[in-house]
Every structure is written in C-alpha cells, then in structure tokens.
Amino acid sequence: MDSVIRFLRNWTLPCAMVFGATCYLIWHFLLPVSMQWRANAAEIVSVVQPILIFTMLFISFCKIDIRDLRWKRWHIYGLAFQIFIFVLTGLLVYFYPDGAYRISLESAMICFICPTATAAAVLTQKLGGNGATLVAYTMFINLVTTVAVSAIVPILNPESGITFWLAFFKIMAKVFPMLICPFFLAILVRYAMPKFHNRVISTRNLAFYIWAVSLSIAIAVTVRYAVLAVNLTVATIIGIGLASLIACVSQFAFGKWVGRKFDDEISGGQALGQKNTVFAIWVGYTFFSPITSIAGGFYSIWHNVFNSWQLYRKNKENGKA
C-alpha cells in the first residue's frame, strides 16, 4: 500500500491526466447517456473548474508577500521571446494563408503567446522556485497576450468580423476575473483575517492536489474536443502535435536559460513553459478554428509530462521517491 501511495505522490500529474481522459472516453463511448445529460455535465464542468482554479490561486497567492511582486530583468526577455515567435509565425500565416501548414502554424502561434498557467505558482513553489517572480510574470504575460491576440487575429481572419476591441474585451472578460479576484481576496484576507490567513498558508499540498483534480477535468475537456472535432486527419493531428511539442520544448529551454542568467531558473522555465492550456483551447476555438483548439490539449500533455519528471527528480533529491 505504501508503494502505491508513493507512486501516486510522485506521478500525480500523469495519473490525473490518464484518469481524466479515461473517464471521458468511458462516458462518451460506453455509457448510455442522453444528450441532455451530456449538456448538463458540460454545464457542471463549466462551473466547477473555475471554482477549483479560483481556490487554487487563492491559496497560492496567500503564500506570496505582495512586496515581493517586482519586475525582473528576465521578464523582459521572456515577454520579448513569446511576442517575437508569435509575430513571426503570424507573418507566415499572413503571407501564406492557403498553405498546407496553416493549421500547424496557427497552433504554434497559440502555444507561444498563451499566458502562463494559473497553476504555475503552485508547481514553482513545490520545485523550490520563486513563486513571487512567477506570479509577476503571469500578470504581465496575460496583459501582453490580450493585446497581441487582439491585434493579430483581425488581420489573419478578417472574414470573422472580429475587431481589436471586440477581441480585447472578450479576452479580458475570460482571463482577468479569474486572475485578479483571487489575488485581491488573498491580500484582503492577509490583512483583515490574519488567523484565517495563517490557516490557509499552513496547508502544504492542498493547492497542488486541487490542481490535480482541475487537470483531470481539463484533460477530459481536451479529449472531448478531439473526439467531437470534424475533418480531423492523421496528418493534421501529427502537425498540431509536433507544433505544440516544439513550442513546449523551446519555451522551457529558453525560460530556464534566461532564468539561470538571473538566478531564477525554475521560475523562468515555468513562466514560459507551463501554459494556461484551457485558455489556449478557448482562443483556438474562438478566434481561429475548432481544430487548432486541440493544440492546447497536446501542449497540456507535453508540459505536464515534463513537470512530472521534474517533480519526481525533486522528490528523489529530497529522499521522498
């Protein structure tokens, strides 16, 4: 029994991913569920997932001192890297709109400009990184993403009728309430309810396990998009998978490299490499095409596999593996 618990602790993220994917596949293919029940389940998930993310962020923000949220030099390099690759791939799509690789390029665009995952602070702290610099970068990249996507999408998809301001406010409404509200609530609790705040910060792994549950749901949603997608060929799947893998590897590598230059390797790697894939799926479905939304699902697999290995290595170093 101890070995099972140890295995689940070391490989929480892959187990959560497999559990989420398996549950949806059983639900979709094996259970005689009516369309009304499926619609009800989708509605429940749309409510439960934000609550889990909000709770996880609140716990993480409670553990960070607002005075430590400062602009770091590596933030500039990270933001510049994401913007540069996003614009570069966008130019390729613009000049070759009917090219065979458009779907793959759009998938890469989404993966590169996608903001840092809301759960990144949880894992950064667990790996021994600086959660405050990570949270600061998360704030900056969400603002940059909002502006960049709003500026580029109307140019690449003029037939969609989406304007800069329409896209801007759509993204703001999607991202910032979930990011800002738990942040300010954590500040309020820190100063107005210190006893409750102390109880929150005394929880060691609660945010991490809430994230694992949220990850299971996110993977289930991703599998749902893949199963329900139309006109999805093997070549398209491979193209999207490769684009997301290249984006994942290059951003983790660059983030770790630039973070190492400023003695913040773990935070740098997580800031650029760990993505808000739920947002990536939404951006693909809303502003590009339903097929490109699968890129977020692939990316979720890549970055969680890598982070699982990092957690295993960290636990092994600490003698917990």
| Residue that the structure tokens 């390029």 belong to | 105
How far is Cα 123 from Cα 114, in angstroms, rounded to an integer? 18
Per-residue pLDDT tens for 58-112?
888 887 777 777 888 999 999 999 999 999 999 999 888 877 789 999 999 999 9
Q: Torsion angle of alpha carbons 281, 283, 284, 287, nearest 10°?
A: 160
Is residue 29, in this structure, part of any structural domain at all? yes
Better pLDDT: 150 or 175: 150
How far is Cα 263 from Cα 81, in angstroms, rounded to an integer? 19
Q: Is 133's pLDDT higher than 60?
A: yes
Is residue 6, in this structure, part of any structural domain at all? no
Contacts of 182 (CB under 8 A, 6+ apart): 54, 55, 57, 58, 61
Token readout for 219 is 């993977």
Is residue 3, in this structure, part of any structural domain at all? no
Average pLDDT score over residue span 253-258: 96
The CATH number of the domain holding residue 256 is: 1.20.1530.20
Token readout for 79 is 């933001």
Q: How confident is the model at residue 258 (pLDDT cuts 50, 70, 90)?
A: very high
Is residue 2, in this structure, part of any structural domain at all? no
| Residue 43 CA to its chain's centroid (Å) | 21
Q: Is 5's pLDDT higher than 70?
A: no
In this structure, is the dihedral angle defined by the CA atoms of residues 89, 255, 272 and 132, taken in order, positive or negative? negative
The helix/strand count (H/E) of the chain reads as 14, 0
Q: Is 2's pLDDT higher than 70?
A: no
- The total number of structural domains in the chain stands at 1
Query: Which DSSP state fits 186?
Result: H
Is residue 234, in this structure, part of any structural domain at all? yes
Per-residue pLDDT tens for 151-196?
988 888 776 677 888 888 888 888 778 778 888 898 899 889 988 8
| Residue 58 CA to its chain's centroid (Å) | 17
**Domain limits at 307?**
16-317
Is residue 11, in this structure, part of any structural domain at all? no
Long-range contacts of 94-101 (CB under 8 A, 24+ apart): 94/155, 94/156, 97/156, 101/239
Q: Please provide residue 275's backbone torsions phi and psi, each rounded to the nearest 5 degrees.
A: -110, 155
Token readout for 252 is 């983790």
Count how many residues are written for the chain.
321
| Residue that the structure tokens 């910032």 belong to | 176
| Residue that the structure tokens 């960049």 belong to | 148
Q: Is 249's pLDDT higher than 80?
A: yes
**In sequence order, what are the beta bridge partners of 275?**
116
Is residue 277, in this structure, part of any structural domain at all? yes
Is residue 5, in this structure, part of any structural domain at all? no
Better pLDDT: 197 or 245: 245
User: What 3-state DSSP class applies to 116?
Assistant: strand
What H or E segment, with its residue span, contains residue 5? helix 2-10
Token readout for 164 is 């800069």
How far is Cα 273 from Cα 117, in angstroms, rounded to an integer? 9
User: What 3-state DSSP class applies to 274?
Assistant: coil
Angle at 321 between CA 135 and CA 119, to 5 degrees: 20
Mean pLDDT of the chain: 85
- CA proximity to 116, closest of 78, 60, 171, 90: 78
